Structure 1
């Protein structure tokens, strides 16, 4: 059985982190979202088919032709035209039953297993407290699908469509019959309606494990927190100099270096090639990415530093996500708390969205640089390759638009 992984979207809600890389390659802990989907499904699939689109060459370069002992093939969705259209691109390489997973969602292995065991055609579903923001599933008395209603004001059940499926190859015939939606896309839920109209049995694979849709920047922190919570003990393969203090669950990869006076309070992951200190303080679900630099007297808290990022000495970064190659000048400080105590809001596709986080810092795109003694306000986005002047106080997004 193949695992078809959808990884073609542009990820505009995740900007600026996706302005120069596809969302499925964003890191969660020590590997990408896409790799974590592969990990979850490897026990039930024989090969992967990845549907690429936006910056698909980066996905091909990062993953290659195999993952572990599973072959990986690629098909292209040249323009985003809906989930059914994305799945249809896999038709030339599919000849047996297959499962469909999203390349930007954090899940447990139990989900693909449930789909694999469910029967010919199946949709995964999970119980949610407030289903009004989801596709809501109704079932017969024996648990098969009767209907999916998108974001109903009065949900008929509390079962939410997870967006993961199992199909037989004849699904492609039904996709060919699927009409275009009002928003100009081909929806797989409409395809499922055609199956129901033909009295086809669709199993509902119930799932109660981890399901995190990593669609917005602060959700990358949520996913990171979930993964780091699973670390047990301390795993130190890198170089640790004298007078370094390690507390709680921590991974220090081979090739990482913790200099004198560094203190790390886990959970935390210090990746290969990272250089921390001297006298730096790392705490709270933090990932110090590959080949990063955290300078003297820097504090980094509950933050993701992506590959080759650098935070200059005497800086503070809290509850933030810094993209690849970001360079924070000495004395750069991030505000992560509103004075009124309300949760921090962030601009997403033109709307100011509540993160539901009382503490949230900044989102910084690849290659951005701050001048020394820059101050960044809570919820600010700094776009790729953008800069600040020495001593500047940035209270609004700078996205180069």
Structure 2
């Protein structure tokens, strides 16, 4: 069985972060989202993996390389434009050949891995095996309607009036029949070749299409709040490990990872939290569900429920929470008069100022 990881989207919902970085490389608990999926494929015994890339191909290739660091053999497949998931399948047709494959969206996270799912598919070999999850907002997703026997009867992509609350999770298992089905569909009203239409073609052809419901968490990290929630969930699984330098004036409480090369001085860190190598936390408070990446400096500041990407600098920041800071962001309290907020913001930035600040 092969793997097909989709990493070609532009990440418009995470701008301005994704103006300078692929959305699949935005970190969760200080590790790029994409890496979790690659590790789950490897752990399920899937080592021959194609990664579909687009405009951010150089970033993806620089981060993943030839895949050997993950125990994988990686082939990069350039998609001409983000024209739908079924179009991505057609882009990968030569790579896939007649092999079965797992397709994984590179900005999704699921709990529990893929091992049991892959084993069940290899045992039974339906034309397709889909993962479903009940969601409160099914109009944002492809949704499935199940028959009395639990097999899939109908699929609809982002319906205005959802026929069910069962969303398609970003993990699919297919035989090569999906390649032929993808060739026999037409673009949707969105101008894309929808994977839901291709799977519906399998259903209409009378081929077995099965569904499994995700019992644990599934996280789609396409927006800032979703990414922060993913960070919260993953941080909830960390195990305390303090290898960096922590002085006697500091207090470390709960499940906290402080990597070797990090420095914590005169500060309070309450887990779950992760502080990467090369970062300095001085006279500050780091609260739960916060991940601080490499080379950051936090001085006389408070930060909680946030993600700081590499090279960020906070100084004299009274309180920062629910925030996602991109690489090399600098947030400081100014001393110039008159007192005012002085901002340099890129396109699509989102700033919320505290009342009275």
Task: Please report the TM-score for the alignment, with normalisation by the length of structure 2.
Answer: 0.88
Distance 1:253 1:384 in 2: 34
Tell me how large the CA RMSD over aligned residues is.
2.7
The superposition leaves residues 162-217 of structure 1 with CA deviations (integer Å, 9 ceiling, x where unpaired) of 13211112322221222111221111111112112211111112222211111111
Alpha-carbon spacing, 1:183–1:155, altered in 2? closer, same or farther (3 Å): closer
2:232 aligns to what SS in structure 1?
A: helix
Which residue matches 1:78? 80
Which residue matches 2:173? 166
Which residue matches 2:63? 62
Alpha-carbon spacing, 1:198–1:28, altered in 2? closer, same or farther (3 Å): same
Alpha-carbon spacing, 1:205–1:50, altered in 2? closer, same or farther (3 Å): same
Check the 8 A contact 1:123/1:205 in 2, yes or no: yes
Distance 1:372 1:313 in 2: 18
Check the 8 A contact 2:6/2:104 in 1, yes or no: yes
2:133 aligns to what SS in structure 1?
A: strand
Distance 2:307 2:101 in 1: 34
Check the 8 A contact 1:115/1:165 in 2, yes or no: no
Check the 8 A contact 2:39/2:70 in 1, yes or no: no
* Consecutive unaligned residues in structure 2, runs of 5 or more: none
Distance 1:136 1:149 in 2: 5
Which residue matches 1:222? 229
1:136 aligns to what SS in structure 2?
A: strand
1:59 aligns to what SS in structure 2?
A: helix
Alpha-carbon spacing, 1:168–1:309, altered in 2? closer, same or farther (3 Å): same
Distance 1:198 1:147 in 2: 12
Higher relative contact order at CA 8 Å, sep ≥6: structure 1 or structure 2? Answer: 2
Match of 2:147 among 140, 149, 155: 140
Check the 8 A contact 2:84/2:192 in 1, yes or no: yes
Check the 8 A contact 1:41/1:113 in 2, yes or no: no
* Consecutive unaligned residues in structure 1, runs of 5 or more: 333-370, 396-401
Alpha-carbon spacing, 1:238–1:304, altered in 2? closer, same or farther (3 Å): same
Q: What is the deviation of 1:116?
A: 4.8
Which residue matches 2:311? 308
- Describe how 1:380-391 pairs up with structure 2 within 5 A: 382-383=345-346
Which residue matches 1:208? 215
Distance 2:241 2:108 in 1: 27
- Describe how 1:347-362 pairs up with structure 2 within 5 A: none
Distance 2:19 2:111 in 1: 28
Which residue matches 1:246? 252
Alpha-carbon spacing, 1:113–1:50, altered in 2? closer, same or farther (3 Å): farther
- Describe how 1:178-189 pairs up with structure 2 within 5 A: 178-189=185-196
2:238 corresponds to 1:237: no
Distance 2:8 2:145 in 1: 29
1:143 aligns to what SS in structure 2?
A: coil
2:225 aligns to what SS in structure 1?
A: helix
Which residue matches 2:279? 274
Check the 8 A contact 2:246/2:264 in 1, yes or no: yes
Distance 2:308 2:24 in 1: 17
2:94 corresponds to 1:92: yes
Q: What is the deviation of 1:109?
A: 3.4
How many equivalent residue pairs?
345
